Amino acid sequence: MTQRSRIAIVTGASRGIGRAIAMELAREGAGLVLAARSADALARVAEEAEKAGASAILAVAADLARPGEPERVVSAAVERFGGVDILVNNAGATKRGDFLTLSDADHLDGFALKYHATVRFCRAAWPHLVAAGGTVVNIAGIAAQTPDAEFTIGGPVNSALLNFTKALARRALEEGVRVNALCPGHIVTDRLHTRIEVHAKQHGLTLEAARESLRAHYGIHRFGEVGDIAGMVAFLCSPQASYVHGTTIVVDGGATPGL
């Protein structure tokens, strides 16, 4: 009897860290459900993932900040593949800046995508994850544990995700699902490029000097690559991590100063 491939839902898979996670799982032969807003970008990732070895791919264009959309993605996955083994909640976009300039809408938007979509995905996928003995990885961020005055939305969203992950993991113990969180540090994606541009403008620096100034400020040898995160996610989803449960893995090159 042939075993069916593991089916993984990856949110925010159209670029950056989510794309890298999708490619890593593709190389392991997983079936992929890719979700993000941009249908074109998803189609490009799907093509690459197929070449990399994904056993099957379903791309669903969706604004995951909207109620009902995470549930629609899970339904489409189950209809196409009959189950879900892996759920990687990665989609996120929280505005940074001076606290006094951030509006209620900015705060609500930040929570709507990164926190509420994660909760909705977990709830909708739960019976399928239980049936499969599956696993969840919630991508948070190091500001969860190291607050930053310029990051008063992202930090609290990430802290809430760690709390939610731990709470869900308690329940999951009885149901045979593994649930963990991963906090990336400063990783080279579009988000980091934007941060470097803003820093350069604020301090009258070239892009190269701004990049170096930020690196030195964070006290790290280098910025992280998306592969640094994707490799750890693949490990967390693998049988080698079968005893890793209800915890937070920090992948930040040593940027976190405290415990």
Ligand X SMILES: NC(=O)c1ccc[n+]([C@@H]2O[C@H](COP(=O)([O-])OP(=O)(O)OC[C@H]3O[C@@H](n4cnc5c(N)ncnc54)[C@H](OP(=O)(O)O)[C@@H]3O)[C@@H](O)[C@H]2O)c1
Q: Which residues bind ligand X (CB under 6 A)?
A: 12-18, 36-38, 41, 63-65, 90-93, 113-114, 139, 141, 184, 186-187, 189-192
Q: How far is the CB of 167 from ligand X (least distance, A)?
A: 19
Q: How far is the CB of 253 from ligand X (least distance, A)?
A: 11
Tell me whether residue 6 or residue 186 sits nearer to ligand X (CB atom): 186
Q: Look at residues 49, 54, 119, 45 and name the one whose alpha carbon lies nearest to residue 81.
A: 54
Which two tokens mark 133?
């003995």
CB nearer to ligand X: pick between 31 and 92? 92
Name which of 135 and 145 has its Cβ closer to ligand X: 145
Q: How far is the CB of 41 from ligand X (least distance, A)?
A: 5
Q: Got the DSSP string for 68-123? A: THHHHHHHHHHHHHS--SEEEE-------S-GGG--HHHHHHHIIIIIIHHHHHHH
In sequence order, the 6+-apart residues with CB closer than 8 A to the CB of 203 are: 210, 213
Quote the least distance from Cβ 26 to ligand X, whole Å: 16
| Nearest in space to 128 (alpha carbons), one of 241, 9, 247 | 9
The Cα 13–Cα 34 span in angstroms is 6
C-beta closer to ligand X: residue 38 or 240: 38
Shortest approach of ligand X to residue 127 CB, angstroms? 23
Q: Closer CB to ligand X, residue 40 or residue 104?
A: 40
**In the beta sheet, which residues pair with residue 173?**
none
